[in-house]
Amino acid sequence: MTCTMKDVLEVTALFLGFAAWIMIFVSLQDQYWKESTTDGSVITTSTIYENLWMSCASDSTGIYNCRDFPSLFALPGYIQASRALMIASIVFGSFGIVATLSGMQCSKIGGENYLLKGRIAAIGGVFFLLQGICTMIAVSWYAANITQQFFDQFYPGTKYEIGEGLYIGWSSATLAICGGSCLVCACKLTTPQEKISYPYQPSSRGRVLTATPTSFSIPSNYGRNAYV
């Protein structure tokens, strides 16, 4: 069995999409989505860091304490939207993995209908693209609010800097978009099983084909005695 370019693209897309899907969970579990800045502080006694679910504080001795956000409706709108988008990206990624596994040409799932399998793989690529877009919007929106508050001279609250959880989210979104693009490009490639050309053969009904050429008699004006 030969490995075609389409097979390579599909396997690469599945690997990228699955890696991006795993990194979403890593990003959500990371507590450092934003961290209190030390800019302008001579002595730092405590550090505050947050993610989408909780807020933590640690002192100079290394002791830290975390608490979940008490109310969903009391949270800012961008945190609620980021939560919804990250959960949606997990759902899209799950559908994308299942669809890609079912639509891969080298997979036995779904039989040997390569045209249908190609369409299913294309749907998986769309799911991966939606996963990457949702993750990118959620992480970028969260980072935009951090940046806006940091450079606002009249902001009275605690100013934060971008944490490592956002960078993991950006990496996840990039991998998902690349994986979805590979699947969409792989759908445009054809394999020998999908496209088979047959030579045109005209219908021979009502005709008798002979291998020897047909001889035609040429009329002559001379009699038979003239050749003797």
Q: How does pLDDT run across 156-198, given as a tens digit for each residue?
A: 878 888 999 999 999 999 999 999 998 888 776 554 444 434 4
Q: Which residue has the higher pLDDT, 64 or 29?
A: 29
- In which band, very low, low, confident or very high, does the pLDDT at 26 lie, cut at 50, 70 and 90? very high
Residue range 40-48: mean pLDDT, rounded = 64
Q: What angle do CA 118, 110, 133 make, to 5 degrees?
A: 45
**DSSP designation for 48:** E
Read off the amino acid at residue 109: I
Global pTM?
0.74
| Tokens 């596994």, residue located | 101
Q: Kindly give, in sequence order, each residue whose CB lies less than 8 Å from that of residue 131, ignoring residues fewer than 6 positions away.
A: 17, 20, 21, 24, 89, 90, 92, 93, 96, 176, 180
Distances (CA, A) of 33 to 3, 104, 117, 128, 173: 42, 36, 39, 23, 16
pLDDT at 208 over 60: no
Write the DSSP string, 49-75: EE-SSEEEEEETTS-EEEEE-S-STTS
Domains assigned to the chain: 5-31+71-190 (1.20.140.150)
